[in-house]
Amino acid sequence: MHETDHIGRRLRAARHRAGLSREALAVDAGISWSAIAQIENGRRTNLRPPTLSALSRALRVTIDYLVAGSGPGHPMLEHRALLYETESDFLATAVPFLSDALERSEAAIAVTSPAMIRRLRRRLGTRASLVRFADNSRWYRNPRRTLGAYRSFLEGSIEAGATWVRILGEPVWNGRSEPEVRLWARYESLLNLAFSLEPVTVLCPYSTRDLAPAVIEHAKATHPHTVGPDGLHTNEGYVEPGGYVLGG
């Protein structure tokens, strides 16, 4: 597949993620509807810098993302905390999160407890084979290795042609000492820097029923957004990584 084909796929994927029709994107970017259709279908390959700039600005992605899949520019990471009380609350957000990824041909990984993995597989049905699943008790043993494992999945997925990557990652908090909890909370904060420029959405579930209040406070401080059955919200308690890590 030629690089120009990738541009068309990434443009279409970014437009879908933004919830825009070709007509709406044409208005926002100041580019004709037919030009957008030609780019997405691979019939227009020689894109001028002003065209790339207008498209990236309208879609809130980087030019490097449209051209190469990643690169320097404005942050693209979406880092969200799923604060759930019951299993139903978890599934009500997690299942659509993964289902949307599959419908858009995005790469998806779900790292959670074996019990939740079984429930997710059952809900997803035959589509579950398209999601990578991993036991969080094994995945979340060392912050550096965990970050490296997610980085490997992200880079491998992009190289394989994915236009976006979705990570459902539920850290293990119970049974950890206070210093360990602080260490993993810093990991969650630093994730905002490590993946800032990458085409990835990270959803981190936190059980408000089973976890200590201090852990929930860490979640609110390290995730720019929270999400649940009532939708997506800006997290007013979010602390930028520099202030969080150095202040903690």
Assess whether 151 and 186 both reside in one domain. Answer: yes
Same domain, 48 and 123: no
Among the listed residues 171, 173, 209, the one whose alpha carbon sits nearest the alpha carbon of residue 89: 209
Amino acid 66: pLDDT = 82
- Same-domain status, 9 and 104: no
State the SS3 of 111-152: EECHHHHHHHHHHHHHHHHHCEEEEHHHHCCCHHHHHHHHHH
Total domains in the chain come to 2
Q: What CATH number is given to the structural domain containing 217?
A: 3.40.50.300
User: Do 165 and 153 meet the contact criterion of CB atoms below 8 Å apart?
Assistant: yes
pLDDT at 82: 97
Separation of alpha carbons 127 and 99, rounded Å: 8
Which residue among 68, 99, 115 closes a domain?
68
Q: Which amino acid is residue 209, in one-letter code?
A: R
The reply to whether 126 and 146 lie within a common domain is: yes
What pLDDT is stored for residue 1 in this prediction?
Answer: 41
Residue type (1 letter), 230? D
Can you give the CATH number for the domain in which 62 is found? 1.10.260.40
Tens digit of pLDDT at every position of the chain (248 positions)? 444 457 888 888 888 888 899 999 999 999 999 999 999 888 887 788 888 888 988 888 878 778 776 554 567 899 999 999 999 999 999 999 999 999 998 999 999 999 999 999 999 999 999 999 999 999 999 999 999 999 999 999 988 989 899 999 999 999 999 999 999 999 999 999 999 888 899 999 999 999 999 999 999 999 999 998 788 899 889 999 888 877 65
Q: What's the pLDDT at 61? A: 82
**Rounded Cα gap, residues 234 and 216, in angstroms:** 16
Q: Which domain holds residue 218?
A: 78-247
Do 138 and 62 fall within a single domain?
Answer: no
Query: Would you state the pLDDT for residue 3?
Result: 47
pLDDT of residue 226: 93
The reply to whether 73 falls in a domain is no
